[in-house]
Amino acid sequence: MTGQDAPGGSGPAIDIRSVCKSYTRGQQTVPVLQNVSFHIAKGEFVALMGPSGSGKSTLLNLIAGIDRVDSGSIFVSGADITTLSESELARWRSRSVGFIFQFYNLIPVLTALENVELPLLLTPLSARERRKHAEAALALVGLADRMDHKPSELSGGQQQRTAIARAIVTDPDILVADEPTGDLDRVSAGEILDLMAGLSESLNKTIVMVTHDPRAAQRAHLVRSLEKGLLIDAGNGAEGGNGNADAPLHS
């Protein structure tokens, strides 16, 4: 598994090898991902597309370390996260992964600033340093003037920007986003995509984004498609379980 082919990358940030994942529903086992392999270079901004139920979220969850593979391995920044214990995985997530959700998933009783500060509670930073970092992250997403607002006092776009600030405040290696614009109007969605593209370019963040919005996919450097648990080469739609051929689309 090689291939140092992504723009701006220096090696695979994420390397997925022969991952299988199925869910059991009652008596029957439903295969979701079948022998999926591919890699994402550092600094890459990848869009994962595919029909609903094709396993996009499942794959993203495995990459982000909040779900377990049945077989296969996932290397992130050189380390196999599938071998980590539950608590090691939690610690790894807190340091290495930034989450962006479709419904923002902010804590309603906390202010924007406190929401952004939340992941820093798991670091050894002092209260003052935490606050400084959180303020900086909020300023970066353009919400310096909304720090003390509760999520319910923010628009959808502002909430998602707060969530992005929360995702980057620990300076993680990778950002995962599951339909980050799925619940937003066209203008807000555009702003969020601008922000994410900016993070990838200026901060060299590796971003994996699940979306079924073609406009969102357009902003990514690379598009990968899943269909019935198999990775499809996005360029020509050919089935490619090994996923070695990275085909940039809409560059």
Partner 1 sequence: MALLVSYSLRNLLARRMTTVLTAGGMALVVFVFAAALMLAEGLRSTLVQTGTPGNALVLRKGSKSEIESVVERGVASLVETRSEIARDADGSALAASEVVVLINLAKRGTGEASNVMLRGIGQKSLALRPQVRLVSGRMPRFGSSEIVAGEGVARRFKGAGLGEKLRFGMREWTVVGIFDAGATGFNSEIWGDVDQFMNAFRRNAYTLLLVRLVSEDSLGAFRNGVEADPRLKLDVKAEAVFYAEQSEMMAKFLKILGVSLTAIFSIGAMIGAMITMHAAVAGRVGEIGTLRALGFPRRSILTAFVLEALFLGLLGGAVGLLAASGLQLFTISTMNFQTFSELAFGFSLTPGIVILSLAFGTGMGLLGGLIPALRAARIKIVDALRAV
Ligand X SMILES: Nc1ncnc2c1ncn2[C@@H]1O[C@H](COP(=O)(O)OP(=O)(O)O)[C@@H](O)[C@H]1O
Contact residues: partner 1, CB under 8 A: 61, 64, 66-67, 87, 90-95, 97, 99, 101, 103, 105, 107-110, 114, 117-119, 121-122, 127, 166
Residue position matching structure tokens 């969605």: 189
Smallest separation (angstroms) from partner 1 to the CB of 122: 5
Sequence length of the chain is 251
50: left (phi over 0), alpha (psi -120 to 50) or beta: left
Tell me the C-alpha distance between 216 and 189, whole Å: 8
Region near Mg ion per CB under 5 A, out of 51-59, 65-73, 105-113, 185-193: 51-59
How far, in Å, CA of 32 to CA of 248, rounded?
Answer: 25
In this structure, are residues 35 and 19 in contact, taking their beta carbons and an 8 Å threshold? yes
Edge-to-edge strand ranges of the sheet holding 45-49? 97-100, 174-178, 206-210, 45-49, 222-227, 230-232
55 binds, among Mg ion, ligand X, partner 1, none (CB under 5 to 8 A by kind): ligand X
Partner from ligand X, Mg ion, partner 1, none binding residue 196, C-beta < 5-8 Å depending on class: none
Q: Which tokens is 178 given? A: 């599951």
Candidate residues 57, 96, 158, 162; the one interacting with Mg ion per rule CB under 5 A: 57
- Contact with ligand X (CB under 6 A): which of 36, 37, 38, 58? 58
225 binds Mg ion (CB under 5 A): no
Residue 32, binding choice from Mg ion, partner 1, ligand X, none, Cβ under 5 to 8 Å by partner class = ligand X
From the list partner 1, Mg ion, ligand X, none, pick the one residue 44 interacts with, judged by a Cβ distance below 5 to 8 Å according to partner type.
none
Nearest approach, Cβ of residue 65 and partner 1 (Å)? 9
Q: Which string of DSSP letters, residue by residue, matches 74-110?
A: EEETTEEGGG--HHHHHHHHHHHEEEE-TT----TTS
In the complex, the residues that contact ligand X under the rule CB under 6 A are 23, 25, 32, 50, 52-58
